[in-house]
A = this chain, B = another copy of it.
Amino acid sequence: MAAIVFAARNGEAQIIYGSFAAPSNVRGALYPRIYPDYGVVFKIEGPRAKKVQLQFLSDAKPYDMTQNADSSWSVTTPPLVPGFHYYSILIDGFAVNDPNSETYFGNNKQMSGLEIPENGVDYYSVKNVPHGEVHEHWYYSKITGKWRRAYVYTPPLYESNNNKRYPVLYLQHGSGEDERGWTKQGHANFILDNQIAAGSAVPMIVVMDRGYAQVGDKPLPTTRLQGIKEFEAVFINEIIPQIDASYRTIADRDHRAMAGLSMGGGQTFYITMNHLDLFSYIGVFSGGGLADFHADTAYHSVFKDSQAFNKKVKALFFSAGTSEPAYLNATKEIHRQLDQAGIKNIFFESPGTSHEWLNWRRALNNFLPALFK
């Protein structure tokens, strides 16, 4: 944290003591700049426009920016909620990226992002512990006729423990994002490193694959989790076998987990419930497509025989944030029905988070200790 001069926070000249450049900025960019109360100053040099605004993807209304004497534009937001927030700058209504920000794939394009770290919280930070590696893994899908890329986390000592085999967590991103999200926005690799170092998670491989399976040039369906049938086929017949062939996995259901957020949570629930022969640990974070759930009929009535289900599934984990009411309510309702049906399940409620990555970092952090024990 740069500590420079006590000054007004108008984004014009000096920088207030205790403020710091957002960690989501590109190297060297002083703005966006976070103040001790989580108010954030944005400053943009250059636009010649009638109106320049700051628009968070999750907000209905933009903040107006004002032009400074040096013709830059700036705005100070009210205190914001910690976490990761996609945003755009509106130049007379046209959404562009903030040149000061790294870019993050979301909403189907490369967007600006603001990371506001949670005060005193470091479970998702890079720390002085042994680090795993994130691999960029390419493979060909015969089903889609395309090359696909997965990001694969291998735990510390994977390279040197030559004969050791590991359990696998398949971890899916949400709609509009891609296989880069869980590490870049989610810091999943650091969450794993820190928990493995602390002994709260067992060393495991984490596969973060692409949640789309577009066959040829056929556009993705816009309904039913963007083509769950095609994705299920790729996932079961191609992703799992090629991961088991490429990494030192323990290739059985007792050592295979699946989790996902939003669309990926919906995909997880669908795929695992239809393939309980393959998975025994399941995480649904702010799951999409969970409405209209009926425990007695859902997924070929898999929840009917609670004793058999509880014997088979080692952990069934649901989560949602208190500031994403639609996801929270749908998730709570499933939790309620499953409890009623005698199906063992865990429900984690994340205080104050909405449909964004801090929510899902917490979900992952709470899910990991339940795995492979």
Choose one: B2, B134, B136; the contact of A189 (CB below 8 Å): B136
Give the residues from 180 to 233 in chain A that come closer than 8 angstroms, CB to CB, to chain B.
Answer: 183, 189, 212, 217, 219
**What residues of B have a CB within 8 angstroms of the CB of A126 in the complex?**
138, 147
Residue from B91, B100, B135, B183 in contact with A94 in the complex, judged by beta carbons closer than 8 Å:
B91
Residue A306, interface by CB 8 Å? no
Report how far A150 CA is from B161 CA in the complex, Å.
22
Contact B138 A135 (CB under 8 A): no
A159 touches B247 (CB 8 A): yes
Please judge, given known A-B contacts A91-B47, A136-B183, whether A109 and B26 are in contact too, CB under 8 Å: yes
Question: How many chain copies?
Answer: 2
Q: Of all chain B residues, which has the CB nearest A248?
A: B159
Of B99, B136, B140, which one neighbours A95 at CB under 8 angstroms?
B99
Which residues of B sit under 8 angstroms from A48, Cβ to Cβ?
92-94
Chain B residues positioned under 8 Å from A189 (CB to CB): 136
Contacts of A138 in B (CB 8 A): 126, 131
Which chain A residues numbered 79 to 106 have a C-beta less than 8 Å away from chain B?
91-97, 99-103, 105
User: Do residues B108 and A110 form an inter-chain contact, with CB atoms below 8 A?
Assistant: no
Q: Are the C-beta atoms of A92 and B136 separated by less than 8 Å?
A: no
A residues within 8 Å of B by Cβ? 2, 26-28, 46-49, 91-97, 99-103, 105, 108-110, 126, 128, 131, 133-140, 147, 152, 159, 162-163, 178, 183, 189, 212, 217, 219, 246-248
Which residues from chain B contact A248 at a C-beta distance below 8 Å? 159
Chain B residue numbers with a CB within 8 Å of A94 are 46-49, 91
Q: Are A28 and B108 in contact (CB under 8 A)?
A: yes
Closest B residue to A189 by beta carbon equals: B136
Q: When A103-B103, A163-B162, A248-B159 are in contact, do A46 and B95 touch as well, CB less than 8 Å? A: yes
Query: A103-B110, A110-B97 given as contacts; is B135 within 8 A of A134 (CB)?
Result: yes
- Set B2, B139, B178, B246: member contacting A217, Cβ < 8 A: B2
Neighbour of A91 across the interface among B28, B91, B136, CB < 8 A:
B91
Whole-angstrom distance between the Cβ of A70 and the nearest chain B Cβ: 15
In angstroms, how far is the closest chain B Cβ from the Cβ of A54?
14
Return 21 A-B CB contacts under 8 Å, by A number: A27-B212, A28-B219, A46-B93, A46-B94, A46-B95, A47-B91, A47-B94, A48-B92, A49-B92, A96-B99, A97-B110, A99-B109, A101-B110, A126-B147, A131-B137, A133-B135, A133-B136, A133-B152, A135-B135, A135-B136, A136-B136
